[in-house]
Amino acid sequence: MKPARLAVSILVLPACLGLSQGLKYPKAKVSFEDFKEIVAKVEAHRASRLINLDTFLRMSKEPGVIILDSRSDFRFERIHVKGARHLAFTDFTQDNLAKVIPAFETKILIYCNNNFDGNETDFASKVAMPRPRRGDAIAKQFAAQTKPLMMALNIPTYVNLYGYGYHNVYELHELVKVSDPRIEFEGSIVPQKPLLVK
């Protein structure tokens, strides 16, 4: 770098730093109070809408019902409940939800990774296992006795749907074997059934 350019860079850099340090931004669009208020409403509402697989499958055949999969694009493309519509949880906005769910009254069925057993690659359980912060035997013993935390996507999906105005939501509440013949999957890793030629 030429000496003149170096001198200008040295003079400009502190000025830029000074400007950035003086910037004041408004508070982030985040409200824990709003979240707590919605969760308080959702808890009792959700309790009466936890359904078993037979009910889930029966409801899924009703006209206008939507099975919503809010897992990642990658996981959805690989395998999902047959007929499910997809909107990744990270893409939940009022406009995006309106494109997938036609009306607030629409009956919505939800599931997540923690509903399926037997495929830990595509339905990896979201569980926070206790880990000792120290390496001593006492810390390990306490960690072993601590209850794991279920971090299922169903809960934030339900809470957010409710917050956006969708209250006709039902949640699969069983841990279903992926090999259960009652449920059908589709996706890139699901073997295609051969077409019967007459």
Write down the pLDDT at residue 151.
Answer: 85
- Which one is predicted more confidently, 19 or 127? 127
53-66 pLDDT tens trace: 999 999 999 999 99
Write down the pLDDT at residue 150.
Answer: 83
Give the rounded percent of residues in the chain with a pLDDT score beyond 70.
80
Q: Rounding to the nearest 10 degrees, give the CA dihedral for residues 117, 54, 86, 34.
A: -90
Q: Residue 153 has what DSSP assignment?
A: T
Q: Provide the whole-model pTM.
A: 0.80
R_g of the chain computed on alpha carbons = 24
Write down the domain spans for the chain: 30-117+153-182
Q: What is the DSSP annotation of 177-195?
A: ETT-TT--EESTTSPPPPP
177-189 pLDDT tens trace: 999 999 999 999 9
**Confidence class of residue 131 from pLDDT cuts 50, 70 and 90?**
confident
Question: In CATH, what number does 30-117+153-182 get?
Answer: 3.40.250.10
Write down the pLDDT at residue 128.
Answer: 85
